[in-house]
Structure 1
Amino acid sequence: MNLPLVRTLGRWAIDRSQSYTGMARILTRITAAFLRLSVFNPAVFFVLVRQIYFTAVQPLTIIIVAALVLGSITVHILLRALLTLGAYEQIGDYLITAMLHHIAPITCTLIIVLRSGTAVITEMALMKINREIDTLDAMAVPVEEYLYLPRFLAFVIAGPCLSFCFCVIGLFGGFLTLGFLHDITFANYLDRLLAAVHVSDVLNLIAKSALMAGLVCLVALQRGLSVQRSFTEVPIRLIQGMIQIVTLIIAVKVLFNLF
């Protein structure tokens, strides 16, 4: 028997089980704090507003640029392909599926991961090492209300909002930047989009984006709090968190495609 391989697999399984167990505990505490309506506490609400600003408002510039670039490429390629095939009537269905179901939620989640996910992991790790969390416990300040709940809600709110902005800018801005290359009017293009979009598409976008963003926050919180007492653990937890987040994003994507 290959004992090193068994040890590696065993360590991997233990690490994953501890990680998901920790995420479940954090989610349970967040749910309890939410049911207690802790978000209406002025101190907690102030933290929530700050987190929403950092997670959902500040990345708008990046979202706009990414939406214009990816939207222009997507609209241009699909228009050229469908016009060549004589199937322009299907442009709305293809664009709605591509943007709302695939490009927007994944792109926005990755931006949230790189910008806010890494910040939460580092923030929680440094607070743990500097004993700030122990200080909050000693002062009887519930960490699930002051630390966990505002960040989780900010991520869950930011995911769908940024994805919706990405879709609007990508679909409309993409046509306005490269649509002049095709013999199509904007009014006709808009009619095709409105005829193709359904409530189920919007609900899919909201659910997928919120779920992905929520998982990003849970992983970030758990990985940040898993450090012990050494600053050298921070980059290790950061890398582990990024790998786990990408794995969960793929799993969510597969799950939604199955159903």
Structure 2
Amino acid sequence: MTTGQIVLAATPIGDVEDASPRLRRLLATADVVAAEDTRRLRGLAQRLDVQIGGRVVSHHEHNEAARAQELLDVVRGGGTVLVVSDAGMPTVSDPGFTLVRAAVEAGLPVTSAPGPSAVLTALALSGLPTDRFCFEGFLPRKAGDRRRALTALVAEPRTMIFFEAPHRVAETLDAMAEVLGDQREAAVCRELTKTYEEVVRGPLRDLADWAEAAGPRGEICVVVAPAPARGAAQVGDLVAEVLARADAGERLKEAVTEVAEAGGVSKRELYTAALLAKKGPSSAT
């Protein structure tokens, strides 16, 4: 019996005209369409004037693990399973990863019908370096957890891309400015490819103030410039960063190791300086 395949297909993130001919064909011909939201899928098909040819099943974060074997059985039987999320590429902050892992472990074919991506679109429009980048998804909602996550990114040498909810974006930008630096360049990209698309660029502090005043709405990506390149830093220049990471919950020795390596200084000297600073001026000799 011929083995089928799983196809991860990107759907429009805004403008429906970004749908590829291949996506249209797959919607019409796949044996099963596994959709994050079946109602949104049918709405997309209607806008594309495409008749979905196969069976439609829900495939979201709450049932992905339970649904996986059912979908793999379709592939084993020679069928094509099309996996789509509400917008963009499945598995990128969307369902799909669990199914892909299960298919890989079972030795079943997985391929992709590439297309729109909020991550890459925001990166391209940000005006920030694109040669090296990383996707961080959504930061933690709790202030302490968010600060710890940002502290771990202080020396990140790649451009960073985040997703954020509109009602939290001002708070997140404020935290970024505090931890990563007021003058770190960034861009807030919202409603990409949609009617009210907007990209606001500037230092993090300015963007935090803008977000607080403007109350931006819609789907939002935040792109942040990489950490500035360091020369041969002085030990004293790095103590504040070590203490900030320790205050955020990181073990002092681990913080010293990472900061010393990034700054090109002695771990022993930085550790000693951090201990003295932590004890306060009265302990210095």
TM-score class, shorter? under 0.3
Q: Which has the larger radius of gyration?
A: 2
- Tell me which protein shows more helix as a share of its residues: 1
The TM-score normalised by the length of structure 1 is 0.20
